[in-house]
Structure 1
Amino acid sequence: MKKIPLKGIVFESGEGSADHAHKMYVTAGDGQPVHAHPFTGTTSFDAGHAHSYAGTTGPAPSRVEHTHAYHAETTFNDGHTHIIHGVTGPAIPLPHGGHLHYFEGNTTVNGSVPHAHHYSGRTGEANAD
């Protein structure tokens, strides 16, 4: 796996304790501007129900071969939620110059009758930079 140097802006948390955190807003990776993709979908129908999900992928450098990490919590259905997470496939160029990514996987196990759902989809488009 290639390590990509990142550049960004770090903001102080404003807390004075040793257990504080900083937020970093990534602005460039491997010398390239970064971008992210929206994604939405519905899981498979299992145990009498399905769940919806929506989110935005993690950032990745533009104009180079790349994938994106993604993470989202499903809607609350039948008394519970599930988590989806993973890494998209590589960028798929589009005729007008943008690109998208495919993703798929299985949710975490949850519910009064423990079960998981399958999900798959494609991200929204990212414009050419």
Structure 2
Amino acid sequence: MNLLIGAVKPHHTHYYLLKSSDAKGHYHVVKGIVRVINGNRLDRHIHMFRGITTLDNRHYHRFYGKTGPAIPLEGGGHYHLIDERTFYNYDEPLEAQFGGVIYGEHDRPKHEHRFSGKTIDIIGYDPFFKSFL
């Protein structure tokens, strides 16, 4: 079978595990799996991601974003850079009788965290494409 170099674009995903910046005396762990997309090490594809941080200092942050383009690794494979920020959250957690999120107290001090790093392992290659990669 003749294939053009870079023509095979298998669906796959990546894992990420990052530590956020310190803010207000604490940090959060940001981890997850980027959304599945078809791509290879040469086509500069990106992935979308979203999630929530670990619970630290009695709160968590939501986050979402997109990776940078695929960066080829020597010997095959690729990774992506991530450089994003969390949504704001209040410096002091609100006491809510029934849980959930309370909005509307806009004058309360809030903070965010930055996080950056790179994706780790490629997960979920289609077995058919494994021989081409």
**Same fold, judged at TM 0.5 (above):** yes
The answer for the alignment partner of 1:85 in structure 2 is 64
Q: Looking at secondary structure, tell me which structure has more strand per residue.
A: 1
Match of 1:55 among 19, 27, 32: 32
Contact map agreement 1:82 1:110 (CA 8 A) in 2: yes
2:86 to 84, 93, 107: 107
Greater relative contact order (CA < 8 Å, ≥ 6 in sequence): 2
Cross-structure match for 1:122:
118
2:54 equivalent to 1:75: yes
Give the whole-Å Cα distance in 1 for the aligned partners of 2:116 and 2:89: 19
Q: How far off its partner does 1:102 sit?
A: 0.1
TM-score, scaled to structure 2 = 0.68
Q: Which runs of 4+ in 1 moved over 3 A?
A: none
**Contact kept? 1:98, 1:125, Cα under 8 Å:** no
SS of corresponding position for 2:32: strand
Question: Does structure 1 conserve the Cα–Cα contact (< 8 Å) formed by 2:44 and 2:71?
Answer: no
Partners of 1:40 and 1:73 in 2: CA distance: 12
Q: Cα RMSD (Å) of the superposition? A: 2.0
- Structure 1 spans left out of the alignment, 5+ residues: 1-30
Distance 1:65 1:124 in 2: 17
The match for 1:15 is: none
Deviation, structure 1 residue 101: 0.1
Given candidates 20, 29, 39, the residue that maps to 2:16 is 39
How many angstroms apart in 1 are the aligned matches of 2:113 and 2:51? 14
| Per-residue deviation, residues 15-53 of structure 1 (Å, max 9, x unmatched) | xxxxxxxxxxxxxxxx84310000011100101100012
Fraction of identical pairs, as percent: 33
How many residue pairs match? The answer is: 100
